[in-house]
Structure 1
């Protein structure tokens, strides 16, 4: 029902480049999956998909390390790429106007293998950042909005600390505390583990 591929590459923004490992999540069953954040290596992701059909390639945001394998994976699988259009400026930094995506919006739903994913627009790390909530399996795919230990980075262009804190407080911490948070990088956590630390993040952030 839930699978992960860790791919490695670089993240570049504002003239800097950093080495990163990304979590690519596959949600579905033995027949079909949704791929969340096609990062760095379309071949490795396609190998993990195997013979399953890909219903959609969903981008939690358009930083290059989360989308740089999306076009290749779409060509291999025939699946549509889905992205919140508020991240258009970041998308164009990678693909210009050569690769199209289908816009997604808050409240949209995806389904693969009997698992429903609900789109939560959670701006802050990027204007079009989203999380995907699967209530039946008690899971949240948070991209770079919420990590084990705090919110995603907001020190670069098109990001806002106050906005990401509002997104986490109003959209994520309202979820059941046992909800497992599967992140875009690093280890998973839970809503219950992170919720008590909101005020210290705010103090630290300012």
Structure 2
């Protein structure tokens, strides 16, 4: 079968700045019947491996390094042999969760990753975290936004390493310029579209002042 996006939800605890919250995370698999990349390996490596099945995992990609998006990454990488990819600006956050295990490769703005003959374009979208990235998959009409853009607005910016004006600029410059029918597959909650979120940009800008 052709390349596609598959969804898995896992549950666990998000911790930052001394607080803890129960969360449900979206884990995304992009690929075909032979090979996939895993995006945001949250909480449960075993559940992710069951979703992968017998396919090759070519990369474990983290859209940012909050613990609830990376806590299963080392186990998943160790059990599949796949490299962990993270933008280097998020290393301080990564080290809070995995002080003794670094990611294997850096993500960079403009980088193009390939799985199953399908291109994933890396967009650096800081704001929720310094090294936050989104993955635009033009051939599948989708963008994986992590916690940068949700159905209803930008990701949270009330904690360490985050900034609201920065996330709004990232969304305006890097995401809302995508085709309106682009599916937005988020780190938490439901999928939306670029066209559904774009009309709210001025509201978000006003909130930042």
Give the shorter-chain TM-score range. Answer: over 0.9
Once the two structures are superposed, residues 74-105 of structure 1 have per-residue CA deviations (whole angstroms, 9 ceiling, x without a partner) of: 01100000000000100000011334431110
Taking the TM superposition and a 5 Å limit, the aligned residue runs for 1:75-94 are 75-94=78-97
Secondary structure of the structure 2 residue equivalent to 1:25: strand
Q: CA deviation at 1:115?
A: 1.7
Aligned-pair RMSD on alpha carbons?
Answer: 0.9
Secondary structure of the structure 1 residue equivalent to 2:27: strand
1:11 aligns with 2:14: yes
Secondary structure of the structure 2 residue equivalent to 1:165: helix
1:146 to 141, 145, 149: 149
CA distance in 1, matches of 2:10, 2:149: 19
1:103 to 84, 106, 113: 106
Secondary structure of the structure 1 residue equivalent to 2:50: helix
Structure 1 residue aligned with 2:192 = 189
1:162 to 161, 165, 172: 165
Q: CA deviation at 1:201?
A: 1.9
1:118 aligns with 2:121: yes
CA distance in 2, matches of 1:10, 1:97: 21
**TM-score in terms of structure 2 length:** 0.96
Count of matched residue positions in the alignment of Structure 1 and Structure 2: 206
1:53 to 39, 53, 56: 56
1:130 aligns with 2:136: no
1:44 aligns with 2:42: no
Secondary structure of the structure 2 residue equivalent to 1:40: coil
CA distance in 2, matches of 1:202, 1:21: 28
CA distance in 2, matches of 1:161, 1:81: 28
Whether the 8 Å CA contact 2:134–2:144 is kept in 1: the answer is: yes
Structure 2, unaligned runs of 5 or more: none
Moved over 6 A (4+): none
Q: CA deviation at 1:111?
A: 1.3
